[in-house]
Every structure is written in structure tokens, then in C-alpha cells.
Amino acid sequence: MSRATKRKHVLLEVFKDDYSPPTKNQQIVKVLKSRGNNLHEVEAADKSVFLASMPTKFRKNMWVKRGDFVITEPIEEGCKVKGEIVRILTPQHIKYFKNDNVWPKEFSEEEEKKVENDDDDIFVNPNRPVVDTDESSDEQESSEESD
């Protein structure tokens, strides 16, 4: 299988297919940081932190960053690495899981604090500081009124 064909199948699997909820041994976790060598430090809903490995089918095809959500399966033989990433969740997956009442409440509270409006189509760069334009327009209006 060529590299392009493999990438196409992996992307289709992530974005279009599987909207099934996690099974009994799987759990939804939040990525805290990357540790290198395809290992990611993740936090479960019960605030436990552990390492999860990225399987070879996702490597060089999909990327996860801080704050993303994934579904992991436990690894029994692991001492430090206690899980393997099974699925990377998109905002559409998250919205579906919230409507289905599968989404952990601990993560819902964090999301409500972080997201004030529901503009899923607008890309927000998490590496840039947020500039609040409402304050500057209020200051200009008050200075115009005083003139």
C-alpha cells in the first residue's frame, strides 16, 4: 500500500467513520503534553495521569496537541506506558458524545469554561494571545462622549 493510500484510509477512519462510544475497557482522556518517541502524557476523567503510546498507523499521518481528546485502551504489560491511543477525537465526535451523554462530566466543565461561544468552524490559534476588542471599543466610545 502506498503512503498516500494509507494516509487516505487513516484520515477517513478518523474523520468519517466510527462514532461508537468507548467500550468498557476504553476511556476518554485529555492530552497534556508530548513526551517524545510517540508517547503522550494524558489525564483521565478521574485526574489520573499516565503515558499513552501512539500506534504506528497514526504516526506521520495524524498529530495530537495539548488539549486534544483521545480514546485509549489499557496496556497490561506496561509499567510506565499504561495505555495505547485507539482513536483521536474531533470536535464532531465530542459534540456527538455530549449529546449521547457519554462524555465525562469533568471534561465538560473544563470545556464550558474554555469555550464561551459555539463557533466550531472558526480556527483559533492556541499559540497566540487572545485580544479582547470589546474593551477598546468601549474606551473609544467613552472618549467620544466626553468631547
Phi, psi at 7, each rounded to 5°: -60, -40
Contacts of 77 (CB under 8 A, 6+ apart): none
pLDDT reported for residue 116: 53
Higher pLDDT: 147 or 126? It is 126
CA dihedral sign of residues 4, 120, 27, 78: positive
pLDDT reported for residue 51: 95
Which pLDDT tens digit goes with each residue over 40-92?
A: 999 999 999 999 999 888 888 788 999 999 999 999 887 889 999 998 898 88
pLDDT reported for residue 4: 75
The partner residues of 84 in beta bridges, in order of sequence, read 53, 73
Which pLDDT tens digit goes with each residue over 85-136?
A: 998 898 888 989 999 999 999 888 766 555 555 555 677 777 888 777 765 5
Nearest to 49 by CA among 94, 83, 4: 83
Domains of the chain, each with CATH number or no CATH:
3-146 (2.40.50.140)
Contacts of 69 (CB under 8 A, 6+ apart): 28, 29, 30, 31, 89, 94, 107
pLDDT reported for residue 76: 87
